[in-house]
Chain A
Amino acid sequence: MDEPRIDVAYIAELAKLELSDEEKARYTRDLEQVLAYVTQLKTWDTKDIEPMCHPLEAYDALRADTPGESLSNEAALSNAPERLDGQFRVPKVVESAH
């Protein structure tokens, strides 16, 4: 955490983003600056503090498992970039066997 180094090219790959060299340089600069700033987090005493992942105390949020109304097939597909026979159409993902 002392010397924030960020391998932007690798992180972008994880995030499924393609960056130009100019973008890589810009984001590296911006994010190293932000990370240098957030290293201050370690200066605060967090001994015995539980991580807070939700602003309100957790409660039992499960509801009865009863079937309700769902989006129709048509509505669910209404924004599909490509569709076929009531399904989302995507490019071929399986390589052909040779």
Chain B
Amino acid sequence: MSTFPKTNLVALRRKLVDRQLSAVELVQECERRMQRLNPALNAFISWDTERALLAAQQVDLSLPLGGLPIAVKDNICCLGEPTRCASRMLESFVAPYDATAVVRLRTAGAIPFGRANMDEFAMGSAGENSAFGATHNPTDENRVPGGSSSGSAAAVAAGMIPAALGSDTGGSVRQPASHCGVVGLKPTYGRISRYGLVAFASSLDQIGTLTVCVQDAALLLQALCGHDAQDSTSARQPVPDFAAELTDGVRGMRIGLPKEYVSSGNAPEVQAALQSAVDALESQGAEICEISLPHTEAAVASYYIIACAEASSNLARYDGVRYGYRASASSDGTGDIYARSRTLGFGEEVKRRIILGTYVLSGGYYDAYYARAQKVRALVARDFARAFADGVQLILGPVAPTPAPKLHAQDMTPLQIYLADIYTVPANLAGLPAISVPTPQSGLPVGVQLLAPHFEETSLLRGAAALERAWT
């Protein structure tokens, strides 16, 4: 389909500062593009142009993100705007406060604009589990954009908005970025406050960015990071200048390529993308060394036990009492209200994961499943710690085993869908920062992934920028 050319934040910012473009005109242009493309792509559930224009009129261009419109995934609270998590459960929910990430966007001068579509409660990897309809891939409308940050990735890829926030519990920023051909950054767990991010799996969830280029990812990250007293898991690490090493290149860097990631199960396009990344990094002077992450195969099993267990607990709050969907009572008793509201408010995949999570936490199964999964999680994390201790600075791998699948591929069982998360869930289990960088091949977009040690986003972005330079 015909989409709009993508423009990066850095270039737009220059235009705004040079008065070649006003913040109001920029919001109007984004709205024009949303009007034009959203009927086909369904990347946005809603947007509030009036609110965005009001912010644009009062913009302070001296701020680092002054006047830049940023789309926000529908599970991140924006004061006074619907925050539905693409669920019928929260169809009428209007956020009574801003998420810390949104506060930081506003403080940096950015204009939150548009509620990006997603898989319901961030549970899915195709963007099809939305109560507001599937999002389509801008490169090929008959394909999925990936998920769960489906709308964020599709909107940036289609040029509807220059950048977007997403959330990544098991790959939900990186995988749609790969499928849509944009840059998807999941920072270290705790880098960005989760306050105001609707909880899915609290020990795995992290807000991330979807941008046109690596430099934009650094720019956004800079505004979003820092300790937040409202989130007890938010990191107390100093926030470095993330763009400091963007042009330093990878000469002399040791980058690990896990042998478990070069799998015969990968599609030819994915193997080609990986080889292209190896060539690009080597040609710039990096040393690619084969490493082993022996517990890779255990990651998906560990992840789904932990993620679903945490989800079943987190989603217990939706009971139709304080907020969210309330079924009309046909008889007395709140028990009835709880079950009826949850039954009618949650979609199929959300229920599936709540049931799995409830099961593994239920009497007699806790040790066999949940405790065991947590031990295996430690093994997965230890693989990475060893690889980094042995001297690799970054790890290279695929993002997903295939390019974007076709829409409505109903021949896949839930297990088969979960297994495709094999390359993205390890970073969440270990809490590592990771980024998806699009390869320049024609046809369907395919990204490659870089991972770094905790809080080493600066070197992660340096490696990603080197790939990008080699490919443009």
Contact = CB atoms under 8 A, between A and B. Distances in A.
Interface of A: 1, 6, 8, 11-12, 14-19, 23, 27, 30-31, 33-35, 37-38, 40-42, 44, 46, 49-56, 59, 61-63, 71, 75-76, 78-82, 88, 90-93, 95
A81 B326 contact: yes
B454 A56 contact: yes
A79 B346 CA distance: 18
7 contacts: A1-B368, A17-B355, A31-B356, A33-B414, A42-B372, A52-B377, A81-B324
A94 to B, nearest CB: 9
Contacts of A90: 321, 334, 337
B77 to A, nearest CB: 11
Contacts of A95: 332
A27 B320 contact: no
- Across the A-B interface, the 7 shortest Cβ-Cβ residue pairs: A55-B431, A51-B374, A81-B326, A79-B323, A46-B375, A52-B378, A61-B232
Contacts of A62: 232
Interface of B: 92-94, 96-97, 189-190, 203-204, 229, 232-233, 235-236, 295, 297-298, 301-302, 304-305, 312, 316, 319-326, 329, 332-340, 342-343, 346, 351-352, 354-356, 358-359, 362, 368-369, 371-379, 381, 413-415, 418, 428-431, 454
Nearest to A48: B375
A35 B365 CA distance: 11
Q: Identify which of A15, A19, A88 gathers the most chain B CB atoms within 10 Å of its CB.
A: A15
Given A49-B379, A71-B97, A91-B333, A17 B343 contact: yes
A64 to B, nearest CB: 9
Contacts of A55: 189-190, 203-204, 381, 428-431
Given A37-B301, A41-B302, A55-B430, A31 B359 contact: yes
Nearest to B454: A56
Q: Identify which of A12, A18, A55, A95 gathers the most chain B CB atoms within 10 Å of its CB.
A: A55
Contact of B338 (A16, A40, A51, A52): A16
A19 B297 CA distance: 33
Nearest to A79: B323
B324 A12 contact: no
A78 to B, nearest CB: 5
A81 B301 CA distance: 38
A72 B302 CA distance: 41
A12 B94 contact: no
B369 A38 contact: yes
Given A31-B352, A91-B334, A59 B369 contact: no
Nearest to A33: B415
A56 B203 CA distance: 9
Given A52-B381, A55-B431, A78 B96 contact: yes
Contact of A41 (B92, B298, B329, B333): B298
Given A41-B298, A41-B302, A56-B235, A27 B352 contact: yes
B355 A8 contact: yes
Nearest to A78: B96
Q: Identify which of B236, B326, B376 gathers the most chain A CB atoms within 10 Å of its CB.
A: B376
A44 B378 contact: no
Contact of A53 (B190, B203, B302, B414): B203
A91 B332 contact: yes
A37 B301 CA distance: 7
B454 A50 contact: no
Contacts of A40: 297-298, 301
A61 B233 contact: yes
A41 B301 contact: yes
Nearest to A61: B232
A80 B333 CA distance: 18
Contacts of B428: 55
A49 B378 contact: yes
A50 B376 CA distance: 9
A34 B232 contact: no
Contacts of A56: 189-190, 233, 235, 431, 454
A79 B337 contact: no
A12 B357 CA distance: 11
A79 B96 CA distance: 8
Contact of A30 (B321, B415, B454): B415
